[in-house]
Chains A and B, each alone.
Chain A
């Protein structure tokens, strides 16, 4: 039992903390808890957890500050817990180095999925990208080496940009990628910060991959934040 993975929960709400702990314990994770940012940071350095769950509204220091300080010494995955309707906060956290976010209120399934994604991406030493040669879910196959996309065995024709977009999302499957991040990755650092072009391209991709663009199965929109591909 020595190889249980450790998750540090920095959350000041006792009930929510208990709830998270219950879920994690029953799923074979080891849990460390902190009710404030300072203790959280010191637990982070002393115990080297595998994943950090960080609530942004802490009583002592701002959650964003905790995130910043963690990033000064470590690359470990940080999942931010945030309240809905604060897109700006989410985007700031993601662009500030958080790996993902989860919105209150969340279910057990959602939380576990986020943690699994974070752990999986951590295994790939590089920046964030998975090195698997294939993405294959529910009939959609992306072959990164041959640059081929097939849906139920039929080849899908994508433009250069569309392919880049899909493969970027697929390599980060399960993780939300912000508009800014995607724009920089695909169009380079000097790209216009206007995300219109990105959204038009996504609409085209949707028409090629999804059977009903209004009910996507593979690529999900998080309006105001970015896109997330089916894990």
Chain B
């Protein structure tokens, strides 16, 4: 990847600097050693080490190879007889120096190669992660377009029928049609808001911008917005008496609450739904409890993974709940909370938690509406 590019001036300078400084240190060390014990072998080893370090901390093969030659010359010039002269011809020397050149050359090449391979591995890993994300996005998109098309078909069909009517539709039939149109359109609206919230997460990678928000305000606004859309929803709400500020992205958490409540309204077949918040030691837990038919046991594990189940078994509605729930999970996880579901004798309970402590990294975050 990088070897094809011509080395930039800066990189060259860095390479030279690293090489030179490692060599200076090595030479000083070698002099010290040589001073105590006149032994050129340990000196050679010091230089081999230096060559290895050079190969490790510079880019490309060149510095390593240059360093190995430099090492050989240094040893020959400074530390072997005749001192301060280059002489390779004395008996036994050629073998030593060739060996040293080969060893240091090989080490430098090995080190460089090793480094390269590491880089390639890293890059591949990054690429794989990127690809995984891409698949996730594609899956989501597929699921969404499927989920969007169904209510849209209903809306278009009913609107066309209404328009084509030449007097044979009864008044209550018309009312029913317009009602369904409005219902489907409202559901679509929530879906669009879900998708918007996903983009809000993706922009800042997997973490979200949190600011401390009063728990009760978030809960009450979420319920209010749900009621505006689903007038028939019967929700009982309860929050702790104690005033709690919870670090979160309020828009996203509201979306989670709305999704879970809407889910309960549409899918559980329960009249009454309870939303209550409890304070745990280091977290707050939001409970969304219905008294309907509960979740099919085989779906408990995978319910938050979205799509995958090939339509919902409930049969009472064409509105899938896959996307909404997988978005809930994404949002809660991005807050470092957890989400799960359990069945009761009657009905199901969705629970998600948000940590109470402010993250150190996020401590100084200003409110998103602030300055």
CA distance A87 to B220 in the complex (A): 17
**Interface residue from A87, A107, A212, A221 paired with B217 (Cβ < 8 Å):** A221
Q: Is the CB of A85 within 8 A of B221?
A: no
A207 to chain B: which residues have CB within 8 Å? 241
Q: Within 8 Å of chain B (Cβ to Cβ): is A179? A: yes
Instruction: Identify which of B214, B228, B245, B251 gathers the most chain A CB atoms within 10 Å of its CB.
Output: B214
Q: Is the CB of B224 within 8 A of A179?
A: no
User: With A196-B212, A214-B237 known to touch, is A224 a contact of B251 (CB < 8 Å)?
Assistant: yes
B196 to chain A: which residues have CB within 8 Å? 85
Number of interface residues of A (CB under 8 A): 30
Q: Is the CB of B217 within 8 A of A199?
A: yes
What is the minimal beta-carbon distance from A76 to any residue of chain B, in angstroms? 26
Q: Within 8 Å of chain A (Cβ to Cβ): is B219? A: yes
Q: Within 8 Å of chain A (Cβ to Cβ): is B202? A: no
Which of chain B's residues 190-246 have a Cβ closer than 8 Å to chain A? 193, 196-197, 200, 212-214, 216-221, 223-224, 228, 237-239, 241, 243, 245
What is the minimal beta-carbon distance from A82 to any residue of chain B, in angstroms? 14
Q: Is the CB of B193 within 8 A of A224?
A: no
What is the minimal beta-carbon distance from B5 to any residue of chain A, in angstroms? 42
What are the interface flags for A78-91 relative to B under an 8 Å C-beta threshold, 1 for contact and 0 otherwise?
Answer: 00000011011001
What is the minimal beta-carbon distance from A97 to any residue of chain B, in angstroms? 18
CA distance A214 to B315 in the complex (A): 33
Q: Is the CB of B216 within 8 A of A206?
A: yes
Q: Within 8 Å of chain B (Cβ to Cβ): is A213? A: yes
What is the minimal beta-carbon distance from A186 to any residue of chain B, in angstroms? 17
CA distance A88 to B241 in the complex (A): 30
Sort chain B's interface into a size bin. Answer: 20 to 34
CA distance A138 to B224 in the complex (A): 19
Q: Is the CB of A214 within 8 A of B239?
A: yes
Which of chain B's residues 341-371 have a Cβ closer than 8 Å to chain A? 367-371
Q: Is the CB of B214 within 8 A of A199?
A: yes
CA distance A222 to B212 in the complex (A): 15
For B212, the closest partner residue in chain A by CB is A196
Q: Is the CB of B370 within 8 A of A195?
A: yes
Q: Within 8 Å of chain A (Cβ to Cβ): is B184? A: no
A202 to chain B: which residues have CB within 8 Å? 214, 217
User: With A85-B193, A88-B368 known to touch, is A216 a contact of B250 (CB < 8 Å)?
Assistant: no
CA distance A212 to B276 in the complex (A): 12
Q: Within 8 Å of chain A (Cβ to Cβ): is B189? A: yes
User: With A203-B243, A214-B237, A214-B239 known to touch, is A223 a contact of B193 (CB < 8 Å)?
Assistant: no
Q: Is the CB of B221 within 8 A of A222?
A: yes
Q: Is the CB of A225 within 8 A of B217?
A: no
**Interface residue from A87, A195, A223 paired with B218 (Cβ < 8 Å):** A223
CA distance A202 to B220 in the complex (A): 14
Instruction: Identify which of A179, A203, A220, A225 gathers the most chain B CB atoms within 10 Å of its CB.
Output: A203
Q: Within 8 Å of chain B (Cβ to Cβ): is A145? A: no
Q: Is the CB of B369 within 8 A of A221?
A: no
**Interface residue from B189, B245, B369 paired with A224 (Cβ < 8 Å):** B369
> Can you sample 22 A-B contacts with CB below 8 Å?
A87-B251, A91-B369, A195-B370, A196-B212, A199-B214, A199-B217, A200-B243, A202-B217, A203-B214, A204-B243, A212-B238, A214-B220, A214-B223, A214-B239, A215-B220, A220-B220, A223-B213, A223-B218, A223-B250, A223-B251, A224-B367, A225-B369
Besides A206-B216, A213-B220, A224-B250, 6 more A-B contacts (Cβ < 8 Å) are A87-B369, A88-B368, A107-B228, A195-B367, A207-B241, A214-B223
